[in-house]
Amino acid sequence: MQTLRERRKNGEQTEGQTEKTTDKKVEDEDSPFNLCSAVDLDKDLVDWRKPLAWQVGHLGEKYDAWVHQPVDRPIRLFGNPLLEAGTKTSWYWVPVVWLPIVFYFSWHCYTTLAEGTTRIVLTSELSIPIHKYIFPLLFLLGWFLWSFIEYCIHRFVFHMKPPAHNYYLITLHFLLHGQHHKSPFDGSRLVFPPGLASLVVGSFYIILRQTLPDILGICVFVGGLCGYVVYDMIHYYLHYGSPKRGSYMYNLKAYHVKHHFEHQKSGFGITTTFWDHPFNTVIPDEKF
């Protein structure tokens, strides 16, 4: 079976023919692919010739160390082809599925506020009118709120340490995020499948509609949904993109690479490192 690095190189052969040999060598030396190990099929703790989902739970206390030893090899989770296909998502499906919803709700919120009838009722005699130009502020509030949710999910859910004796929690952890740390360059598993993402998006929508008055909750929701789309796109880019050295995205990529290969218990911010600071999970020396 080809490694992920070999697959990527084969897909870029025509482009690579125009590059200089020295440039290729520099790129290869700097590539995070070099930080991944090859799989020893005879000595590894699991059988890579079989689906991994139902094997990892038996690793027990060895699971945490094993899952944080990245390999340059695609993962097969399930034997059933349909079930396996449901765990894989090409990056472009994220904007295809979610951006039309973002555009629709943005239009709905702005036109509703533009009618001039939206008010926040404080008492029976006192209410505050909500102007249409408040929409961008509510949108940005939702985006900011998403950045906090992004941090919390990554830190407290994806990086929970399942009890060594609990087969089911180990399996759940591997399905949610462990498989991504085991094979960080498996391109089909770098963004959330829409079905799984809809559970988080739907919960976010319901909570905001129950918490904030009417249209205001939708305004905040659509900002958060846009933040999620940007998060998934940035996460994919941090693994496969080649940002310009010294740029914001370059430093963010370096930060995320360190999270994967050196500091798995810190550096939980993806789109921004903002929340790592108040929660004291900043990775020291963020640049290469």
Residue with tokens 């050196």: 262
- Per-residue DSSP letter, 129: E
Nearby residues of 209 by Cβ (< 8 Å), 6 or more positions away: 217, 218, 221
The stretch 238-261 carries a mean pLDDT of 94
Nearby residues of 168 by Cβ (< 8 Å), 6 or more positions away: 57
Q: What is the pLDDT of residue 4?
A: 53
Q: What is the pLDDT of residue 94?
A: 97
Asked if 138 contacts 216 with a C-beta cutoff of 8 angstroms, the reply is yes
Mark out the alpha helices in the chain (DSSP H runs): 4-11, 13-16, 21-30, 63-67, 81-85, 93-114, 135-152, 167-173, 179-182, 194-211, 214-240, 248-261
Q: What is the pLDDT of residue 259?
A: 95
CA dihedral (231, 96, 182, 46) in degrees, to 10, reads 150
The Cα 266–Cα 255 span in angstroms is 10
Q: What is the pLDDT of residue 127?
A: 73
Q: How many residues are recorded in the chain?
A: 288
- pLDDT tens figures, 4-50: 555 555 554 444 444 444 444 444 555 676 778 888 888 999 999 99
Asked if 258 contacts 283 with a C-beta cutoff of 8 angstroms, the reply is yes
The radius of gyration of the chain from alpha carbons, rounded to an integer in Å, stands at 22
Helix, strand, or coil (residue 210): helix
pLDDT, the chain, mean: 87
Q: Which of 97-111, 117-131, 153-167, 188-202 has the lowest mean pLDDT?
A: 117-131
- pLDDT tens figures, 142-166: 999 999 999 999 999 999 999 999 9
Q: What is the pLDDT of residue 286?
A: 47
Helix, strand, or coil (residue 75): coil
The stretch 118-129 carries a mean pLDDT of 75
Q: What is the pLDDT of residue 287?
A: 47
Calculate what percentage of the chain has a pLDDT beyond 90.
72
The Cα 259–Cα 113 span in angstroms is 42
CA 112 to chain CA mean position, Å? 32
- pLDDT tens figures, 276-287: 999 999 998 744
